Structure 1
Amino acid sequence: MILLNAQWGESAGFSSGYKEYVAGMLAGVATVIVGHPFDTVKVKGLYCGATSSFVGMAFESSLAFGIYSQTKHFLQGNPESGKPQLLAILPSGAFAGGFISFILCPSELVKCRMQVQGADSILQSSSRYRSPVDCALKTVKSEGLTGLFRRAGATFFRESIGNAVFFSTYEYVRYYMHKPLRDASSDLTHVIDVGVGIVSGGLGGIACWSAVLPLDVAKTIIQTSTEKNHTRNPVKILELIYRRSGIRGCYTGLGPTIVRAFPANASAIVTWELAMKILGIKRD
Structure 2
Amino acid sequence: MSTGIIGKTPTRPTSGNEHEVSKVQKECKNQLPGYAGFIAGIFSGVAKLAVGHPFDTIKVRLQTAEAGRFNGAFDCVRKTISNEGFRALYKGASPPLVGWMVMDSVMLGSLHNYRRCVKDYMYPHESKLTLTGHCIAGMLAGWTVSFVAAPIENIKARLQIQYDAKTKLYTGPIDCAAKLVQQNGIAGLYKGLFSTMIFRSNFVFWWGSYEVFTQAFKKHTQLSNPAINFWAGGLSASVFWITAYPSDVVKQYIMTDSVTSPKYQSWWSACKAVYQTKGWGGYWRGFTPSFIRSFPANAAALAAFEAVLRTFH
Q: In structure 2, how many angstroms separate the alpha carbons of the residues matched to 1:88 and 1:23?
A: 21
SS of the residue 2:224 aligns to = helix
Residue-by-residue CA offset, 1:33-69 (whole Å, 9 max, x unaligned) = 1111111112354111111002111111111112112
Bigger radius of gyration among the two: 2
Aligned residues of 2:132 and 2:208 also touching (Cα < 8 A): no
Q: Pick the aligned partner of 2:292 from 255, 259, 264.
A: 259
**Superposition RMSD on alpha carbons, in Å?**
2.0
Length, aligned pairs only: 257
Q: In structure 2, how many angstroms separate the alpha carbons of the residues matched to 1:40 and 1:70?
A: 32
Q: In structure 2, how many angstroms separate the alpha carbons of the residues matched to 1:230 and 1:181?
A: 52
Percent identical pairs in the alignment equals 30
Which residue is 1:206 aligned to? 238
Residues 1:23 and 2:26 are matched in the alignment: no
- Runs of 4+ off more than 6 Å: none
The answer to which structure, 1 or 2, has the higher relative contact order (CA under 8 A, 6+ apart) is: 1
Residues 1:237 and 2:270 are matched in the alignment: yes
Residue-by-residue CA offset, 1:152-198 (whole Å, 9 max, x unaligned) = 1100111122x22110011110101112324xxxxxxxx62232222
SS of the residue 1:40 aligns to = helix
Residue-by-residue CA offset, 1:120-142 (whole Å, 9 max, x unaligned) = 4433xxx5312200110011112
SS of the residue 2:201 aligns to = helix
Is the alpha carbon distance of 1:91 and 1:49 closer, same or farther for their aligned partners in structure 2, counting shifts above 3 Å? same
- The answer for unaligned runs of 5 or more in structure 2 is 1-26, 62-87
Residues 1:58 and 2:101 are matched in the alignment: yes
1:263 positional shift: 0.5
Which residue is 1:138 aligned to? 179
Residue-by-residue CA offset, 1:190-214 (whole Å, 9 max, x unaligned) = x622322221101111111111111
1:11 positional shift: 4.3
Is the alpha carbon distance of 1:245 and 1:61 closer, same or farther for their aligned partners in structure 2, counting shifts above 3 Å? same
Q: Pick the aligned partner of 1:220 from 247, 252, 256.
A: 252
The one-letter amino acid paired with 2:153 is E
Which residue is 2:215 aligned to? 175
Aligned residues of 2:199 and 2:251 also touching (Cα < 8 A): no
- The answer for unaligned runs of 5 or more in structure 1 is 1-8, 183-190
Q: In structure 1, how many angstroms separate the alpha carbons of the residues matched to 2:201 and 2:103?
A: 13
The TM-score with structure 1 as length reference comes to: 0.84
The one-letter amino acid paired with 2:206 is F
SS of the residue 1:168 aligns to = helix
Q: In structure 2, how many angstroms separate the alpha carbons of the residues matched to 1:12 and 1:138?
A: 48
Aligned residues of 1:72 and 1:88 also touching (Cα < 8 A): yes
